[in-house]
Amino acid sequence: MQEEPLKKASISDHLANERTFLAWVRTSIGIMGFGFVVVKFSLFIRQISAVLGTKSHYQPTGYSPVIGILLVGLGSLTILLGYLRYHSTKRQLDQGQYYHSSLLNQIMTALLFVISILLLVYVIKTT
């Protein structure tokens, strides 16, 4: 039985890999931006209350900074893992062998799910 020669990756394969990486970059920026908003949420509520001269019913629980920092950290991890995946896929394409892996998707889904549960608990406690 004769082995098939390795197929050389086309330009469109490399461009698709780059588009996927750019999607991970956008996702990373979105996660970090949302984390920043969560961190600053309690500060915003306190400032609005001070400007309006009213006492806020909002009692900060300390969860906002923790969840926000987790989201910013997850966004940073996303860009790093996205780059590593991009580089690995590029190397595989250059060698003529590509092996699909959904591990990064599974990790990101699990981490975002855990953080979203924490955020849900935070919102319920502060309402």
The predicted-structure confidence for 80-107, as pLDDT tens digits, reads as follows 999 999 999 999 999 988 888 888 889 9
pLDDT tens for each residue of 23-70: 999 999 999 999 888 888 767 766 776 777 766 555 555 677 888 888
Confidence tier at 122 by pLDDT (50, 70, 90): confident
Taking the complete model, does pTM exceed 0.75, yes or no? Answer: no
Rounded CA-CA distance 30/93 in Å is 29
Burial 11-27 (b: 16+ CB within 10 A, else e): eebeeebeeebeebeeb
Per-residue model confidence (pLDDT) at position 93:
92
